[in-house]
Amino acid sequence: MLRLILSSLSYFRGSQLAIGLGVLVATAVLTGALLVGDSVRASLRAMALDQLQRIDEVLVVEQFFRAALADELAAQAGRSAAVTAVVPATLLNGTVEATGGRRQRRASQVTIVGADARFWKLANEKSSHTVPMSQAGVVVNRTLADELGVQVGDTLLVRLPLPTDLPADSPLGKKSDLVEGRRWPVTAIVPSDGLAAFSLRRSQRPSRNLFVPLKVLQRALDLPGRANTLLVAGDRPAHGTTVEQSRRLQQALAPRLTDYRLALRPITIGDPRQPVSQRLDLSSRRLMLPPAVVRRAQEAFPADQLQMAFSYLANTIRAGQRSIPYSIVTGINPRTGLGPFETDDGRPLADDEVILNSWAADQLKVQPGDEVTLTYYLPESTHGVLQEGSPATFRVRSVIPLATKGEPPTQANDPDLTPRMPGVTDQRSIDDWELPFTLVEKIRPEDEAYWDDHRATPKAFVSLKRARMLWQSRFGDTTSLRFPVAPDQTAADVQARLKLNPAELGFKFRPVKRLALASAVGTTPFEFLFLGFSGFLMVSALMLVALLFRLGIQRRAVQMGLFQAVGFSSRRWRRLLVIEHLLVASAGAIAGALAGVAFAWLMLVGLGTLWQQAVSTSALRLAVHWPSVATGAGLGWLVCVLTIGVSLRRLGYHSPRALLAGTLVNVRPWSAAGPRWSRALAALLLVCAVFVAGGGTWLSGEGQAGAFLAAGSLTLTALLLLVWRRMRMADSTHSQAARSLFAMAGRNAARNPGRSLLAIGLVASASFLLIAIGAFRLAPTVEGTGGFQLWATSDQAVLFDLNTESGRNELGFSTRGGERLADWRTYALRVQAGDDASCLNLYQSRGPRVLGLPSGFLARGGFAWAGSLARSPTEQANPWTLLERPIADGAIPVVLDAATATYGLKIGLGDRYQIDGDDGQPVKFLVVGLLRNSIFQGDLLVAERHFLSQFPKISGHRLFLLEGQKSSAATAANDAAQITEILERTLGDLGFDVTRADDRLRRFLDVQNTYLLTFQSLGGLGLLLGTLGLAAAQLRAVVERRGELAVMRACGFSDRRLVGLVMLENGSLLVIGLGIGSAAALVAVAPRLVVSGGSLPGLHLAGLLAAILAAGWLAAWIAARQVLRLPLLQALRAQ
Amino acid sequence: MNSLEANAVTKTFPTRGEPLVVLRQVSLTLDEGERLAILGPSGSGKSTLLHVLGTLDRPTTGEVRLDGQNPFALAEPELARFRNQQVGFVFQDHHLLPQCSVLENVLLPTMAQAASASKDVDRACELIEHVGLTDRIEHRPAELSGGQRQRVAVARALVNHPRLVLADEPTGNLDRQNADLVGQLLIDLVQQQQAMLILVTHSRRLAQRFDRQLTLEDGMLGPWSSADRTT
């Protein structure tokens, strides 16, 4: 039996080779798709490891701490956390300008790394970079250098954000001069790999980095010896730290109070030998104590050993016509021993009572029982505008003595109740105060005299509760903590008892390497994507396998009849065939698996070139994982064997006589009328298509496209059914006898309806899909941009309102520029930095960017929605209002783009999601709405008030949406370029960068459109393969029909006419298939184009179909030419 | 006067060894309406002779003329036209097109140069009636018996009024009754249109109905002896 099989394989090697090639192609496609997925993941992993090198953990803190903390941590954590190096650095986000040449070039969102030589030692041993860090200049990576067009020796203007202790949104926070510009020469340009591409955000797009010596940066920022980053290298550079190692590292971190910007000082009032009052005072250079510190203190100390104070600057204290300006008022509950006063009846201060010191009472001429009124600025400002709070009225409870110069101090003589504030508390006079607002109240000589004698000693005291009611904000509600002094309670004791948790105060390590490797699994399953793209290649290959197998079997029909005639059972000779073809399939699968490697390589080349818009990188490299190769081979083999098995099964039973006669066709022609069911079914399908298409006009977006696609599919099926019906009908009345070459060609094509329909069906389906899939091409729409023309970002916070004249003046707009901008409405959004979770990033996001939307934006509405949890008519009319809906468990309502939700974060409507907050606590969201194809891809959108509650430290706005107000959308679009220039020129110091909103949207949509293009390209390749394969099959069929062709030649058919007949047969199948497919595709595409706009890549598709038609005709011509070479005469001889 | 002339026709085929000489200096002449039967053993070159006379194959040496014209001097398209208009073939294995009806098979030669005209259809129907298959005119070959198929092949050969009809063992696959029927049909129809008929057969019975009989042995034509006439 084996000899028989092998000899058959050898004899029929031509047809078996063709089948094997079909198996090869199918397997190559399967294997290649799996390898593409493996390669993308491996490339992302390699990129992540390359960018991080040996860095496993990173700590980045908002405030600057002692760089020496690195050495302390290294000593502490060395063994327990498997730490091999701890390096201090400063990481900033800044703007860099190239100032030479004709055109100024600017790069924003540049990572500025302040580092010393220790940073570069964090590279792997294999890394080839030795970066010369010169104190005289900066080093840039190639990506930044190319963007700026600079070379070594050119000068860069680097704009550095200056750190501030006070939030800009607080009344006392600086709102200007927050950016320092420094000019540095470029001393080296390094390739953008290794640590030169260091980035904390995972993206396949190379980061733009500028490296400056740490000491130089410290000098520029006026922060000698300080840093804001710790980089930790572990002992597993290829994997990162384990969870346990991360925990130990975090435990080993022990910042000092000064690192937290805290100070714990002993305060003594009076003679130290006999003090009036003594205490330990904990305050912050940031004015407000972090809530975590207050919480810890309350947990660690009983109420009688802890006193909280909240000091605030009141603009005036008034009593009748008298007022005193700019006074410190302290909210505090007095404690025995801690002061600052004692009530006569021991009753605590009521919330409507105030205690004045004697100086204030004297100035206001008030006594106990009188009323006084406090005016003040609200503790939070927006757009740099200070707002006065509602005046607060109090009843004077009592007057406490304030000692004057020369007198022994009283408990009220306590200027340390006011936290130190450089520029204010250290100034000699009130006039010298360096405040971000103008002092509008009149400063009298008495006020200056008070300042001379008492500095910031509070003039009034209210209850802590009332103070918090008036002045607490997202920045805090306590300015100092006071602890009694005791022999067993020193400052060290207090600090030890507080047990401050670094993670709660922003000192939290991130296991960046472990997170990077986890996110390298990516968001897009490329193996399935390419399997889908290459589906037609596979289908064509499998169709060829089935077709060629059937042709081969037909050719061997006589043999099979002979087998049966000599006694082989049907089962036995079928097994012979199966084994023979299993061997072919095995060989094809093995070869195909290897060819799959080449296919994968080709696809990666495509992704890096033609289809780069989908992946935004050319750095994807082939990674051959042999398990995937084996899986592809196995699956390919299995699929092909199943195909052959199905084809064999469909052979059905044929009598030995029929087989010996070479007959395998059991087609009984229908009557001339044909069965009614086929016509009725086709009519029903067409009617359904009309209804579905009509229904599609009521839908929108993908739903509409899907409806039209369904209508096209129904049309396609109906047309194929009609063709099939036509072919099978007996059509030989006198008037319809084939009398022309064309008719003969049609008759020949119809002699094997199954085969012909397979050919027509493949071509029709392929061309239908190739054209119809274009209906899903997306173009930017007004709904997608929300009607906005411009999208802008800034590296540094914009603290003033672009919509007001005063705001524009503060920002430095010229008169003309301000007037132009006045015609535009700007919505300013808050930004909490995070990963890019849009389709532009191949990495999986671990913490997307969060945007805080102002209430005006929510009220404005707009954008298209893919779904929402709207219930009420108000919410349904404007789902943005859902962002204000309270959620029972305290989760924050969030809206995001549907694509980001589905593909980036794998969440849906109604799902919960969480990210890490600043204080180490998770921030929990509830998805209440999904936008469709919007410019907000990649971001989480929340209401501004929720944003500020979760990210209180964020001041100002860094993302802006602009729309023209006083002109049509078309005019606004035209003005956009001028507005862009005005904004970027005026706000260049802040790194202001403007993009057209539709361009931004187009970048997102281009990803999907590129994937569609990929599908069309590979689908076209599949169709081409199918066409060529069909021609090969036709050629085989021609060979089988050489007897007929010989007769026709004997009857006087010229060679040319015979060739024409064969070409007509081939061509008619192709043209009918393309025609049906195109017609059905028009049904799918045309309504959507009319209704929704957009366009087809007509040139691309026309070219593709023309190429297929040309290839088909060429193949048919080759087949036809073969006719001339056939030994037709032998066919005429009797067998 | 219509006539067929073959002068010293030789046909050799190349092989791996010596060339195979199938026809050796074959000469014959046939006049209008004349019927010739050629007999001979298998492999004697009978089919090759018919193929050469019918311009399906070129002689290695020698000449063939029909009505004074040497068809091998024509270019291929003209040769095809010549064959279409002047020659009709009937093969042992009928070689009907299985996908075509009886009518379409008979009409096949009329499509060789251009589409069939209405007069061609009338002619085809007439011939189909002559061969007794009017009631099967729309049937496919698979639905006909062997004899019926061969009758269709005969009608096909005559549809274009050829001058010369060449039949290569047309009854070889038929039983005696059908063989007699088809053979007589062929003779009658050819006679009707005064065409020349050359028939190759093993059947002495059929050969005896012809005006002339020749044998072909070892590639050479010779007379058919009277002893061979016995049935």
Q: Please indicate whether, in this complex, the C-beta atoms of A1047 and B97 are within 8 angstroms of each other.
A: yes
pLDDT of A1089 reads 66
- Establish whether this prediction's ipTM goes over 0.85: no
A550 to chain B, closest Cα gap in Å = 19
Q: How high is the pLDDT of residue A176? A: 86
Average pLDDT for chain A? 87
pLDDT beyond 50 at B190: yes
- Is the link from the previous residue into A340 a cis peptide, with omega within 30 of 0? yes
Dihedral sign computed on CA atoms, order A513, A519, A521, A522: negative
Which of the four pLDDT bands, split at 50, 70 and 90, describes residue A666?
very low
Residue A156 has pLDDT above 70, yes or no: yes
Q: How far is A1049 from chain B (nearest CA, A)?
A: 8
The region of weakest confidence among A8-12, A503-507, B138-142 is A8-12
User: Any idea of the CA torsion for A735, A739, A741, A742, to the nearest 10 degrees?
Assistant: -10
Is the Cβ pair B108, A1047 closer than 8 Å? yes
Percent pLDDT > 90 in chain A is: 50
pLDDT (average), residues A577-593 = 91
Whole-number pLDDT of residue A246: 92
pLDDT exceeding 70 applies to what percent of chain A?
A: 92
Q: Which of A734, A737, A1050 sits opposite B56 (nearest CB)?
A: A1050
A732 — pLDDT class (breaks 50, 70, 90): very low
Would the pLDDT of A221 be above 90? yes
Query: Of A82-96, A351-365, A1042-1056, where does mean pLDDT reach its minimum?
Result: A1042-1056
Q: What is the pLDDT of residues A885-895, one digit of tens each?
A: 999 899 999 99
CA dihedral in degrees (B71, B74, B76, B77; nearest 10)?
A: -100
For residue A825, the SS3 value is: strand
**pLDDT tens, residue by residue, A1055-1106:** 888 888 888 888 888 888 888 988 888 887 777 666 655 555 567 677 777 8
Task: Judge contact between A771 and A1097, C-beta under 8 A.
Answer: no
Higher pLDDT, A946 or A1093: A946
Does residue B13 surpass a pLDDT of 90?
A: no
| Amino acid in the structure at residue A447 | D
Taking the complete model, does pTM exceed 0.90, yes or no?
A: no
Residue A449 has pLDDT above 80, yes or no: yes
Q: Which of A337, A263, A271 is nearest to A305 (CA)?
A: A337
More confident residue, A602 or A12: A602
Instruction: Note whether A662 contacts B: Cβ–Cβ < 8 A.
Output: no
Q: Decide which of A657 and A853 is more confident.
A: A853
Residue B111 pLDDT more than 90?
no
Q: For residues A534-548, give the mean pLDDT.
A: 79
Q: Which tops the pLDDT comparison, A705 or A1009?
A: A1009
Q: Is the pLDDT of residue A421 over 80?
A: yes
Give chain B positions within 8 Å (CB) of A1054.
Answer: 76-77, 80-81, 112
How far is the C-alpha of A60 from the C-alpha of A93, rounded, in Å?
A: 12
Is residue A75 predicted with pLDDT exceeding 50?
A: yes
H/E element, A971: helix A969-986
Check CB contact under 8 Å for B113 and A1052. Answer: yes
Give the C-alpha separation, A317 to A327, whole Å: 7
Supply the Cα-derived Rg of chain B in whole angstroms: 17
Instruction: Please give the pLDDT value at position A780.
Output: 87
Which among A791, A718, A1051 is positioned nearest to A937, based on CA atoms? A791
pLDDT digits (tens, 9 = 90+) for A462-501: 999 999 999 999 999 999 999 988 877 788 888 889 999 9
What's the pLDDT score for residue A661?
A: 62
CB A951 within 8 A of CB A832: yes
Please tell me the predicted confidence (pLDDT) of residue A733: 43
* Summary mean pLDDT of chain B: 88
Residue in chain A lying closest to B162 (CA): A1051
Q: What is the mean pLDDT of residues A15-24?
A: 88
**B185-193 average pLDDT score:** 89
Q: Which residue of B has its CA nearest to A661?
A: B142
Non-local (6+) Cβ contacts of A521 within 8 A are A41, A844
pLDDT value of position A1062: 83
Residue type present at position A278: Q
Give me the phi and psi of A462, to 5 degrees please: -125, 175
For residue A901, the 8-state DSSP code is I
> CA of A587: how far to CAs of A573, A582, A1025, A1084, in Å?
22, 9, 20, 41
A683 touches chain B (CB under 8 A): no
Nearest CA in chain B to A1135: B93
Residue B231's pLDDT is 44
* pLDDT the model gives residue A371: 96
Q: What is the mean pLDDT of residues A341-349?
A: 79
Residue A71 pLDDT greater than 90, yes or no: yes
**Angle of CA points B54, B56, B57, to nearest 5°:** 110
pLDDT in tens, A791-817: 999 999 999 999 999 999 999 999 999
Interface size A-B, in CB pairs within 8 Å, comes to 119
Would an 8 Å CB–CB cutoff place A668 in contact with chain B? no
Nearest residue to A497 via CA among A297, A310, A348: A297
Alpha-carbon distance A1044 to nearest alpha carbon in chain B (angstroms): 6
Residue B125 and residue B103 in contact, taking contact as beta carbons nearer than 8 Å: yes
> A66 versus A705: which is more confidently predicted?
A66
- pLDDT attached to residue A619: 85
Q: What is the DSSP string of A155-222?
A: EEEEEEEPP-SS-TTSTTS--S--EEEEEEEEEEEE-SSGGGG--SS--SSPP-EEEEEHHHHHHHTT
Average pLDDT over residues A933-949: 95
Specify the 3-state DSSP secondary structure of A1129.
helix
Distance (Å, rounded) from C-alpha A993 to C-alpha B99? 73
* SS3 state of residue A943: strand
Residue A1111: HSE in the Cβ half-sphere, 13 Å Cα cutoff: 20
- CA-to-CA dists, residue A423 to A427, A431, A435, A439, A745, angstroms: 6, 11, 8, 14, 97
C-alpha of A573 from chain center: 59
What per-residue confidence (pLDDT) applies to A818?
93
A652: left (phi over 0), alpha (psi -120 to 50) or beta: left
pLDDT at B157: 92
| Distance, CA of A1097 to CA of A729 (rounded, Å) | 39
pLDDT tens readout for residues B21-55: 999 999 999 999 999 999 988 888 888 899 899 88
Residue-level pLDDT at A384: 86
Strands (E), A386-442: 392-400
Q: Is the CB of A667 inside 8 Å of chain B's CB atoms?
A: no
Residue type, A1038: V
pLDDT (average), residues B94-113: 84
Q: With a cut of 80, say whether residue A1040 has pLDDT above it.
A: no
Count of C-beta atoms within a 10 Å radius of residue A1060: 17
Mutate to test the interface with B, among A1047, A1053, A1059 (most CBs of B within 10 A): A1047
Q: What is the mean pLDDT of residues A1101-1127?
A: 76
The segment with the largest mean pLDDT, out of A6-15, A496-505, B166-175, is A496-505
Rounded to the nearest angstrom, the minimum Cα separation between B140 and chain A is 9
Residue A911: per-residue pLDDT: 95
Q: For residue A280, which phi and psi values (nearest 5 degrees)?
A: -105, 130
**Chain A residues touching residue B76 (CB < 8 angstroms):** 1054-1055
